[in-house]
Chains A and B, each alone.
Chain A
Amino acid sequence: MRSPTPSLHRPAESIDQTVLHENRKLVQSIGRRGFLRGAVSLGALTMLTGCDVTNKGGVQSVLRAMSAWNDRVQAFLFSPTRLAREYPASKVVRPPRWNAFYGREMVKDIDPSTWKLELAGLIGDKRPWALREIHALPEVTQRTRHVCVEGWDYIGEWTGVPLKLFLERIGADLTAKYVGFKCIDGYSGSIDMASALHAQTQLTTKYGGEVLHKDFGFPIRLRVATKLGFKSPKQIVAMEVTNTYPGGYWENRRYNWFSGI
């Protein structure tokens, strides 16, 4: 250290260090990583609550804890063998009701010849899948009720490969907690493994016997008959099997994650 040179702007005596000595333990415990993590969490919390943390943060953390508790209750209520009711073909609505977080004219076109389903995470064979390869897999058809979180519903007919069969085919770790999806429009979603393995959970390629329209998820979408509609992402481009909670578009905006019906 340089010896202090006399200056009008510098105090004549050195700074009193007693406060530092008294709080040595506390100061030493401040880690760079911990501090950054805390700061980022606090910042994220502000974004999530969308309001002043000082007066609403406590309430928001209680509400989020309750939502997590509800996830557990719903996992308990979920029966892996109970099937959603099937309906006759005459009840199927064509075309189905459209919904997204943007305008319908913004739905993206996908070139089926270049589209690939990317795979990531706890999967044995992560080779991307082309559409014709997915089409070659065994398909099943379901006519079930689609229930939107908003309150509307309709009966639809979806055809596709059971997700369970696909997960087995790619050598996914079926004991993992989550299956996550990413879509071409920036939408994302994730479901629990138990629901992923349910007989009425499928990677859908057709609606009402015809190739999916892009508005309803071309080239593939997820269809989960035991969850609310927003849990079935459309126009999927990537799938991940993981033990790390992946969240999702609406889930990150405070919608309940499990959202089983």
Chain B
Amino acid sequence: MATMSLPAEQRPRKIQPLTVRITHWVNAIAMFIMIGSGWRIFNDSPLFPFIFHPDITLGGDVYLSQQLWQDSGMGGALQWHFAGMWLLVLNGLVYFGYNIATGRFAMKLLPVTVKGLIGDIRDALSLKLSHDNLNVYNNVQRLLYIGVLALGVLVVLSGLAIWKPVQLWWLTDLFYGFQGARWVHFLCMSGFVLFLVVHVVLAIIVPRTILTMITGNAPPAHDDKQKE
């Protein structure tokens, strides 16, 4: 309560609301489950001429599964995938519902302009990009977040199309059929993995963003400046 007596501009800023922080980390767990088990399901009938090494997939011990049941470990992967999907979707609904209801999406992610994008990319390449205010996303960040949110919607829709091609035939038709839906589902996953690599690398480069996603507060930027 002591902070309340400080002038408004000096109070710690809650820039990541509790709902956003919780759904962010639950989503991280759900993504881990879905991608890991999805890779093993992929291995049973690969769309492309490669498979994911069983040791980096999820769904129990592959080798034991082969010895016991002559099963590729698919059974465990299916269990994880069909359980994880509820975590992903319910958590996603809370996240989207909150951000739409509070207008946070519009506030944080819009506008994205071509001019702004060019400027931000130039700043980033010349290492002049400002991290002073974590509350404001630059144009590149906005575009990436909009993109990954769209992928989130698409991965669920294509997943439903694969799960229920008869009951939800109209959805499967939207993806150009069952195999089309598999392609889209796979490409969404690839998009997530690419995003994840960039997302994690950038978070490590500016570590206080990780702290912000845990405590919700942005440590004053000038502290960073002094350290640098």
Contact = CB atoms under 8 A, between A and B. Distances in A.
Nearest to A63: B79
B169 interface: yes
Contacts of A260: 164, 166-167
Contacts of A150: 44-45, 74
Interface string B65-78: 10011110011101
Interface in A141-175: 145, 147-153
Interface stretch (A7-15, A110-118, A127-135, A248-256): A248-256
A253 B41 contact: no
Interface stretch (B13-21, B80-88, B101-109, B188-196): B80-88
A147 B178 contact: yes
B63 to A, nearest CB: 10
B178 A64 contact: no
B137 interface: no
Interface in A44-84: 47, 49-51, 56, 62-64, 66-67, 70, 77-79, 82, 84
B100 interface: no
Contact of B166 (A51, A67, A225, A255): A225
Contacts of B75: 250, 253-255
A11 B61 CA distance: 50
Contact of B60 (A49, A77, A78, A152): A49
Contacts of B70: 101-102
Chain A interface main SS type = loop
Interface string A192-204: 0000000000000
A261 interface: yes
A50 B61 contact: yes
Given A47-B68, A50-B68, A62-B83, A255 B78 contact: yes
The size bracket of the interface on A is: 35 or more
A231 to B, nearest CB: 13
Interface in A20-53: 47, 49-51
B45 A78 contact: no
| SS of B interface (majority) | helix
A226 B60 contact: no
A153 B178 contact: yes
A66 B33 CA distance: 14
B163 to A, nearest CB: 7
A85 interface: yes
B221 interface: no
A261 B166 contact: yes
Contacts of A67: 79, 82-83
Nearest to B63: A50
A191 B76 CA distance: 21
Interface of A: 47, 49-51, 56, 62-64, 66-67, 70, 77-79, 82, 84-85, 101-102, 145, 147-153, 225-226, 250, 253-256, 260-261
Interface of B: 41-42, 44-45, 47, 60-61, 64-65, 68-71, 74-76, 78-80, 82-83, 86, 163-167, 169, 178-179, 182
22 contacts: A49-B60, A50-B65, A67-B82, A77-B167, A79-B167, A85-B166, A85-B169, A145-B165, A150-B74, A151-B47, A153-B179, A226-B166, A226-B167, A253-B71, A254-B75, A255-B74, A255-B75, A255-B78, A256-B78, A256-B79, A260-B166, A261-B164
